[in-house]
Amino acid sequence: MLAPRSLRVWKLLRHKCFSPQKLTDVSDLSQNQKRSRQTSDLLVKEPPKTTSPKTNGHSKLNKSALSDSRPDVDSSSGTSDGSLNATHGTKNLEEDVSLVIGKSFALDRSGVKQQVKSPAISYPKFHFPQGIPVSAVENDATLRRVCLVFRSLPDEQCSLADMPRLCEAANLPLYWKHPIFMSLTKGEPRRASLMDFTAWWRAMTSVAHDEAARFVYTLTGGNKSFLSREDLYGMVMDIMHTHPGLEFCREAVDFHDKYCDVVIARITWNLGCVWTGKITADCLRKSDFLKCVRQLQEDSDINRCVRYFSYEHFYVIYCKFWEIDSNHDQIVSKADMKLHKDGAITDLVLDRIFFSCAVRLTKKDTMNLIGFTNFLLAEEDKNHPTSVEYWFRILDEDGDGFISMYEMERFHQAVIDKLTEERIDTMSFKDVACQMFDMICPENGTAFRLMDLKKSPLSIRLLNALINWRKFYAQEVTEGTERVLDENGRELSDWERFCSEEYETMMENEEEVDENFFVSLDDDNGLPQTF
């Protein structure tokens, strides 16, 4: 263990100024002290001037006498007449002191001690919130390729139909074309010029460097650091109008807005931004959304993008919404929600949902298609992290961050009441609680935190026991669900399995009626009309 700094400095000075030989009597001690005082005066005071012919006896020190008190001084530090160079000795002493206290000193011409500042250490930058900067050479090369495209166009101006060529030249995803074109023209009904693209490109590349940051900049026009639902609408609508996998439903204009609402709701859901509605560049980097947008230009089957753009998934969601919307006004009430799965959700849970405890609803005691999409995603895929948080907000009545035993008993009692109405016997709450604590093993030991539920793959059993009486009964009488694999050998999620089963059932029912009929969104009578 090192001594304190002041003590180490004192010992070093003492070692330099005093003789290392052992003092035997008081006279030797006083002689050494006197000699050390002379040496210290010589080190601190200004060196004697050599212009005077007279020699001061106190300005020179015998080399042999100094060697007794400073045996480590080299003879090279002395002058030609046998005296010691005071400046050189002071420099050596200060260097030794600087090693102890971690500072560097120097003497100016007047002999005053000056601290020498060490050069600042520069560390390489490692935090890039807008992505790692791209070289100007690469950005200029992209601009030259785009310039060639503009020169090949009539009047060197491009329309929205010409944007695929520009996106390819700029190495941008194809389905960014609509927001890019709107940024170039600033929303005006005109064509874009090379000057428009150059100004936009230089402004974007100066602040946004990776794909996520550039996506946010493109869709917001550089006015915000995050995306909202409204910012995504133009791009999703362009996908509806131009993707080959959605060509069959382009004439059904009434479905276009509904498709956009469902897709945007699924984007915010899978990115975990449903609570704030703000999609940042960091959220995009952590997700596979931008990768899926790029894949749309390579795959003509829109249903392969199961997380965001699948038309089959949209069809299942909208049909489920249509079934419980009794008056077909695109709004469902609490009474309508009781029709979902024949009243599988308890009344206590529905009260919490319509009280906006999970996701804020647009109107009081009502739910639109976006709100229903969030509910259905949470209900059918309880293993999803966003679903776990959705139900945790419902079950945590007092908002203390825990699902307590009291809250568990209240919600499970509502499930037991439903089972009793159906004349189904079940376990007591104490047995269910012991079973859940043994499966999930919360850190608290007496309550569940959100982190506990997200860590455990068995948290779905707890949620079913408190929310859905039909699923709770099913999980108690069965040994579990079987794994379902797709054609590539990938295991399907609970949501994908649900949509696959429901879509097949709906297709079979439609074949029995007529494949050429569909339900009009604006038909108040709910009668089918020809496509």
pLDDT tens string 251-261: 899 999 999 99
**Measured distance CA(428)–CA(413) in Å, rounded:** 9
The confidence band for 161, taking pLDDT boundaries of 50, 70 and 90, is very high
pTM score of the predicted model: 0.73
- Residue 481: exposure state from Cβ atoms within 10 A (0-12, 13-18, ≥19): exposed
Other beta carbons within 10 Å of 349:
22
| Of 72 and 426, the one with more pLDDT | 426
The confidence band for 16, taking pLDDT boundaries of 50, 70 and 90, is low
Are 214 and 204 spatial neighbours (Cβ–Cβ below 8 Å)? Answer: yes
**Measured distance CA(152)–CA(433) in Å, rounded:** 72
**Measured distance CA(37)–CA(42) in Å, rounded:** 8
- pLDDT over 60 (residue 141): yes
What domains can you pick out in the chain, each with its CATH number? 132-206 (1.10.238.230), 221-309 (1.10.238.220), 322-477 (1.10.238.10)
- What lies within 8 Å, CB to CB, of 347 at 6+ separation is 338, 414
- Work out the angle at residue 264's Cα, subtended by the Cα atoms of residues 259 and 267, and round it to the nearest 5 degrees: 130
Q: Residue 406 is inside which H or E element, if any?
A: helix 405-421
**pLDDT value for 523:** 52
Per-residue pLDDT tens digits for 189-232 = 999 999 999 999 999 999 998 999 999 999 999 899 999 999 99
**pLDDT value for 17:** 52
| Of 118 and 194, the one with more pLDDT | 194
- pLDDT over 80 (residue 487): no
Q: Where does residue 356 fall: left (phi above 0), alpha (psi -120 to 50 degrees), or beta otherwise?
A: left
Average pLDDT for 6-26: 53
Crossing angle of helices 347-354/385-395, nearest 10°? 100
- Work out the angle at residue 260's Cα, subtended by the Cα atoms of residues 292 and 525, and round it to the nearest 5 degrees: 145
- pLDDT over 90 (residue 528): no
- pLDDT over 80 (residue 407): yes
Scan for tokens 């945590």, then name that residue.
396
Q: Which tokens belong to 222?
A: 């550089």
- pLDDT over 50 (residue 100): no
Write the DSSP symbol of residue 10. H
